Structure 1
Amino acid sequence: MTARSVVRSATSPDVRTGVLAPTGFLAAYLAVGPVSGALVDRPLPLPGSPASEVAAFYSANPIAVGTTAGLQIISVACFAMFVAWLAPALRAAGAAWLPPVGYLSTAAMVVSSVLSGILAVLAPSASDSAVTVLRQSSFYAGGVANVVLLGLFVFGTALVLGRERLFGKPTRWFGFVAGTLAMASVSSLAFYYANAFLPVGRVLSMVWTVVAGVVVYLRVRAANR
């Protein structure tokens, strides 16, 4: 069975998942900024800030931290649904390795969110070293690890399913660009200014999942008329 036949044999609710799941993925993530901004009493300290500043922020803003973590988990849970929706088609196309990449990206953000919650609980009494370890671990898990894996999934899916003609050239090339920028964020580990790849690659990859879901949905509807 080909990837195209796998997707086209899906039921209508399954096909709608391909649109609704990535929409939730993007919407929940975009909600983090305004929601947390309305709840915090000061800006989040940058990575590398003194442990005392980090501890003070997390101690003073446990509700904001918890809300942010919850929205991030909801966001990546929606992404995991999108990955699961595409998984049969990816396996049929000989790319069974791609769904685990998507799930690892999801897991990285969950780990980041859990570590943030732990830090909010422990910050008032934790040592400076513990605060630093928790903050840096959360930052790298939800930043580079999550984004690079997301980019790899997007690039690989655009390549594989584009080859199967589930996507047209615009969607395929959008995936290549978004995925490449997201994967390029790994360079931020060595170069400070490469941190710009993190938000750009992340958001473009998120938007790509919405576009890809809509394209497949419309093609399946047209094929089943």
Structure 2
Amino acid sequence: MSTPRAITGAAVFLVAYLSVTFAGALADRSLPLPDAPASDVAAYYSANPAAALVVAGLQVVSVLGFAVFAWTVGRRPAMVVAGVSVLAMVVSSALTVALTLVAGSASLDTVQALRLGSFYAGGIVNVVTLGVFVLMTANGLARWLGYIAGGLATLSVLSLAFYYASALLPVGRVLSMVWTVVAAIVLARTRPTGRTVSGSSH
């Protein structure tokens, strides 16, 4: 197990995602909410292609950092879940790129489909599977922070039924990111000799 690799992956995961906020400053307006009219969505992406593409790129870099962390510390079942989480964000970013390219010419139904697809893949699917990974891996690695972060991220699936549960999406995501950094630091301090696995103690 490479502790430096785990630390690097966790750091890239967190920093690249937080950089999305600054990339959003390139836009001339706020990103419309998922339930906004398709015409507003088309107008945003038509007017702000650079901001949209930078955000999509940073999101991919972020989850690649998570992939490095997950590969370093996870057992096979947890790594499969992590792979689904990474793939979900990659799909979300690809849909964002597609939306940016066609926003000015596509039908409003196409615009809405691409926007919702990107939101659900990069939101609920990505965050819920991230939470499941954290729960599967947290034992012995900042355990209680992992249980809290993973639990909140997993519970964000409730946003499918209850609007107010959508607040769990950003909270669960960021706490899970923080957990990866803390877990990597724990690994660095304990310097285990073997590959870390879910359920191991440090």
- TM class by smaller structure: over 0.9
Q: Find out whether 1:30 has 2:10 as its counterpart.
A: no
SS in 1 for 2:138: helix
Counterpart of 1:60? 47
Q: Find out whether 1:72 has 2:56 as its counterpart.
A: no
What is the TM-score of this pair, normalised by structure 1? Answer: 0.84
Write the distance in 2 (CA, Å) between the matches of 1:133 and 1:222: 48
SS in 2 for 1:43: coil
Q: Find out whether 1:211 has 2:199 as its counterpart.
A: no
Counterpart of 2:197? none
Instruction: List aligned pairs for 1:33-182, cutoff 5 A.
Output: 33-37=21-25, 39-87=26-74, 90=75, 96-159=76-139, 162=140, 167=141, 171-182=142-153
- The amino acid of 2:61's aligned partner reads I
- The amino acid of 1:177's aligned partner reads I
- Measure how far apart 1:221 and its partner are: 7.1
Equivalent residue pairs, number: 194
- Give deviations 1:63-97, integer Å, cap 9, x for gaps: 0000000000000000000111114xx2xxxxx21
Q: Pick the structure with greater CA Rg.
A: 1
Write the distance in 2 (CA, Å) between the matches of 1:85 and 1:201: 22
- Give deviations 1:167-216, integer Å, cap 9, x for gaps: 3xxx1011000000000100001111101100000000000000001101
Cα distance, 1:120–1:215 mapped onto 2, change above 3 Å: same
Counterpart of 1:21? 9
Counterpart of 1:185? 156
What is the TM-score of this pair, normalised by structure 2? Answer: 0.93
- Give deviations 1:110-166, integer Å, cap 9, x for gaps: 10001001000001010011011000000000000000000000011013xx2xxxx
Write the distance in 2 (CA, Å) between the matches of 1:79 and 1:221: 20
- The amino acid of 2:54's aligned partner reads T
Write the distance in 2 (CA, Å) between the matches of 1:198 and 1:216: 27
Give the gaps of 5 or more residues in structure 2: 195-202
- Measure how far apart 1:222 and its partner are: 9.9
Write the distance in 2 (CA, Å) between the matches of 1:177 and 1:103: 22
Write the distance in 1 (CA, Å) between the matches of 2:129 and 2:98: 24
Give the gaps of 5 or more residues in structure 1: 1-9, 91-95
- State percent identity of aligned pairs: 52
Counterpart of 1:5? none
